[in-house]
Amino acid sequence: MNSLLTNPAEFAALVQRFFVERLLQQRNASPRTIAAYRDTFRMLLCYVERKIGKSPNKMALIDFNVALILDFLAYLESERHNTIRTRNARLATIRAFAHYVSLQCPEAMQLTQQIQAIPMKRFEKPMLGFLSREEIQALLEAPDDQTWYGYRDRILLILLYNTGARVSELIGIRVADVELTISPSVRLHGKGRKQRTVPLWKDTATKIRQWLLYAKLNPEQSLVPTRKGLPMTRSNVAERIALAVSSAIKHCPQLQGRKVTPHTLRHTTAMHLLQAGVDITIIALWLGHENPATTHGYIEADLSMKERALSTIALPPEIGQVRYHPSDDLLKFLESL
């Protein structure tokens, strides 16, 4: 058997070159992409050690086969309880590496082609959850702005609703990213090093000015920091939103039992813009969607828009709907096929 397939040093070198040459040098991948790919390989190598008893420094290319990858994907779903979406993301990383190996090591072509042929698993896409205007108003007013934490949480919630930012974009906003003079706006640092500028509503800009005077933050600090002045974490943001929801229930009982996440507020922003008549392409730019088709999911979620569309195409009462009836000759032709 070819030594390239059985030598552990060759496999380790391919993994290192994949990260350094392919991802960092050639693709200039973002730190988040590198971290996601790294985590997949960590899990895979730990699984290999458990499954076949080979430590990472003893794994060879011949071990990187379709049977192992299928077992690993099953392990992600059954034991780690990963969602299908997460399972597909891990598979995308593995297929990218398999493609790189096929270019660098033609001797492994059969192995890599089998791995690349593993399909992404289909899954049901849940309906988008969003808050009504009454619910979002109750949530925004829930934090106690007489305390430092409550004041910060109000700014956090207002920013999420105004900008439709992802939680990673929210915690990445620095004071220097906010423009509060002529045209109030905030610069968001999105996925894949993409940046976009989102306008701030007049009321949002006023509240941020007041917050900056109150918190005395320097330009390089996070706009919504922890009490120690450090950027908040994802889990920290989720906890503060959950706390605000529990307080808002007192004034808005319909929030009881609702799961409200940072992404729920992002969906809420999009839906309220859509219901206000904002064009879908503008909403796509607002949310930072690379493909406007992603934004069409919000149209599917809005029942009132569907009802309006239905009313515009309903036939007048005096016009009956006519069905097409094929002629006898056409039926005979079809039956003869």
Paired residues of 197 in beta bridges:
187
CA distance 235 to 162: 21
Q: Check if 289 is active-site.
A: yes
Q: Check if 85 is active-site.
A: no
- Is 30 exposed, middle or buried (CB count within 10 Å of its CB: 0-12, 13-18, 19+)? middle
CA distance 7 to 58: 8
Q: Check if 54 is active-site.
A: no
Q: Which contiguous run of DSSP H or E holds residue 284?
A: helix 280-287
CA distance 16 to 300: 44
Q: Which contiguous run of DSSP H or E holds residue 61?
A: none
**CA separation (Å) from 143 to 13, 22, 241?**
53, 47, 9
User: Is residue 298 within 8 Å of 274, Cβ to Cβ?
Assistant: yes
Pick the catalytic residue: 17, 54, 99, 263? 263
Pick the catalytic residue: 22, 154, 166, 207? 166
CA distance 199 to 180: 10
Which residue, 197, 203, 195, is CA-closest to 185? 197
Pick the catalytic residue: 22, 174, 240, 266? 266
Q: Check if 196 is active-site.
A: no
Instruction: List the structure tokens of 100.
Output: 């790189």
Which residue, 46, 53, 62, is CA-closest to 10? 62
Q: Check if 251 is active-site.
A: no
Pick the catalytic residue: 80, 85, 191, 251? 191
Q: Check if 189 is active-site.
A: no
Instruction: List the structure tokens of 157.
Output: 């919630």
Q: What length does the chain have?
A: 337
Q: Which value, in Å, is the radius of gyration of the alpha carbons in the chain?
A: 27
Show which residues are catalytic. 166, 191, 263, 266, 289, 298
